[in-house]
Amino acid sequence: MSHSTPRASRRNFLKGAGCLTIGFVLLGAGSLAAETPKGPELPGSLQDNPRINAWLEVLADGRVRVLTGKIEIGQGIRTAVAQIAAEELDMPLERVEVVLAETGRTPDERYTAGSASIEQSAMSVRYAAAAARQKLLVLAAAQFKAMPSQLELRNGGVRTTDGRQLSFAQLLDGQQLQDEVRLPIRLKPKADYRYVGRPILRNDVERMVRAEEYYVQDLRFPGMVHARILRPPTYEAKLESFDTKALKKAVPGVLQVVVDGSFVGLLAEREYDAKLAQDFGRLHARWSGGRALPAGQPLAEHLRQLPAIDKRTTDKGNFNETDAAPTLRANYFKPYLMHGSIGPSCAVALLENNALHVWTHSQGVYPLRDSLAKLLKMSPENVHVKGVPGSGCYGHNGADDVAADAALLARAVPGRHVRVQWSREDEHAWEPYGSAMLFDLEARIDPKTGRITHWKHELWSDTHSSRPGGSPEKLLAAQYLAQPLLPKPEDDISGGIYRNSEPYYDFPAVRVDTHYVQGPLRVSALRSLGAFGNVFALESFMEELAVKAGQDSYEFRLRHLKDERAKAVIRKVRDMVQQEKLAPREGLGVAFARYKNQAAYCAVVAKVVVAPEADGSTIRVAKIWSAIDAGEVINPDGLKNQTEGGLIQAASWTLNEEVHFNAHQVTTRQWEQYPIFRFDEVPQVEVAVLDRPTEPPLGAGEAAQGPTGAAIANAVFHACGKRIRQLPIRPEKLLA
């Protein structure tokens, strides 16, 4: 598509923020809800933003606009919240519009993370819409001189039994519901659902497939300036010299060069000229040496030797060191992993009339606003951040950093939009990675009962979240300014490190020791945080114990579980592969976890084919099955899609992915050095959803990652008899 024609306007991105809101006082909250049963506790997002109009507005044409502080990152939040609002308000789905994260416009829900979009944002919309339903009935009852119980909501209005009807817009007369949402609230009976629980198609997917304007990378504004950032060759290197006059002579299209300490921004009218300027700078700028990286020893050994903050994060049961020796000991390792976003990070910023506007695919528009305000020494009220979907996310990638780049450069050309696009090399070399992790496990099995009696899990890991969160020093650019802002090390262990380290199984004695270290590379949140590594180690070890005890893989796990829902997903996935036939050098492996030990239940079986060593010893994942229980399902297709994507992504992590570095810099700077699954490597996937409509919805977007890695490792063992405990599981490790 042509880049010469403006394809978006600031007006289109800023419109729709002028609704008048007033409070209604016809009846107090107690009177409104006097006949309703007491429900569960309100979602945390709703407690933080308790008024109806924080979540939905009635438009003049009778449509309803839903506001969510979450951003669309592939989880289908736009479709899910539309389904929920349409359901509670008994109106056509196509009459519901959804506005995603935008400061000053939508609720402050912090980050779109932790598989909490449905649990928090969508459920907040459910209660707000239900409260709106109650209020609309009360208002209509006053108009019709009838009892609320004699009225019904239908097609965007309130109707009497004799056919009289008022639309929502007529009832509100241009105003909005500002009542506070309080329990108890009568939710729509599930038996009457028309939308929730149905596989409603996502309209945004067609736009992606057709390569229409959808992502932040697609934004174009009239008179927009393009920019690239000249990064140092390695961490903490300082700019010593850069001949900007030679640059402008070599690339006449350069509009401006911004140099602030070791932060270098290159602005041009054309994107191609900005890229040429970056290439020139990489060849001619001179930098100091920077920080050396520990390339002389295996990373797992390095992690174990680093100074650590130690914490016993689980300690239950009786550990008597004079008891019998452990039945088995093993250690496991997960390397640094990239987010591997298909589209490198991008942002647009505009400084105009002392106000900063930023378009970003950050997962937290409000925390980013606060960080940028401090970085630029502006009032947060003068910083407006609008979330726009990005091409790939999977956690805290470069989105916040590139937004800071754009904000800093916008000061150089006030009144003009500045678009900063990272290159593939920028993304691979400078994004914050998922932390490397090391695990030591040991367990004791009672020889009489065949059950595990003692379990120890010791792990070493860097942090799993360095999101800005209002701290500008965590933004990459801030660390390279003439007056740098440098991040301080954490003084405590975050829960993301030991997420899912405590077994969900029923073991009499469990001990988990966590060691927080500062590794050599920049790290932050990657999908599932520490759960991927912890579950890989835990479930690989469970399989090794089952084999050592001579027990069936499924029954061994079932014998150690009390939760019937956990047992159900394991039994379901076992049934799914019951008829699967295995040829020589093929194996099936199973794994299970409940994400965060409180969200969705997920069991996974992988089928792996290992070619004989004489044939080059290749490893191929032929198929993956999964059974998932996420409580009440809003959109079955959405849940399946999330799980399927998680299975494939985790399979790629398990077999292919690893960040490499030498003593000077990260060396995996292109796809050739960091291969993710190609289409011909993607396995077949089959997902069974155990819908439990009477249970609360559970976060599911990150549930499949950990079990998938362990299931593949277990399948490789059953295919060829070799246990690989260090990821990725590459063919050469089978030969070692």
For the stretch 129-171, pLDDT in tens is: 999 999 999 999 999 999 988 999 988 999 999 889 999 999 9
Give a three-class secondary structure readout of 442-485. Answer: EEEECCCCCCEEEEEEEEEECCCCCCCCCCHHHCCHHHHCCCCC
User: Exposed/middle/buried for 602, CB within 10 Å: 0-12, 13-18, 19+?
Assistant: buried
Asked if the domains 10-206 and 437-462+497-735 are classified in one and the same CATH topology, the answer is yes
317-366: per-residue pLDDT in tens? 988 765 678 899 999 999 999 999 999 999 999 999 999 999 999 999 99
Whether the Cβ atoms of residue 258 and residue 267 lie closer than 8 Å to each other: yes
Global confidence as pTM: 0.91
Residue 74 has pLDDT above 90, yes or no: no
SS3 412: coil
pLDDT at 113 (0 to 100): 82
Looking at domain 216-289+339-430, its CATH architecture is 2-Layer Sandwich (3.30)
Hey, where are the domains in the chain? 10-206, 216-289+339-430, 437-462+497-735
**CATH number 3.40.50.410 given to 10-206:** no
* CATH of the structural domain 437-462+497-735, one choice from 3.30.365.10, 3.20.20.410, 3.40.50.620, 3.30.2130.10: 3.30.365.10
pLDDT at 35 (0 to 100): 33
Q: Distance between CA atoms of 400 and 478, rounded to whole angstroms?
A: 12
pLDDT at 615 (0 to 100): 63
Residue 724 has pLDDT above 70, yes or no: yes
Q: With CA atoms as reference, report the closest residue to 579 among 570, 588, 568.
A: 588
Residue 564 has pLDDT above 50, yes or no: yes
Six token digits for residue 231: 């990064």
531-557: per-residue pLDDT in tens? 999 999 999 999 999 999 999 999 999
In whole numbers, what is the pLDDT of the chain averaged over residues? 91
SS3 316: strand
Give a three-class secondary structure readout of 359-407. Answer: EECCCCHHHHHHHHHHHCCCCHHHEEEEECCCCCCCECCCHHHHHHHHH
Residue 16 has pLDDT above 70, yes or no: no
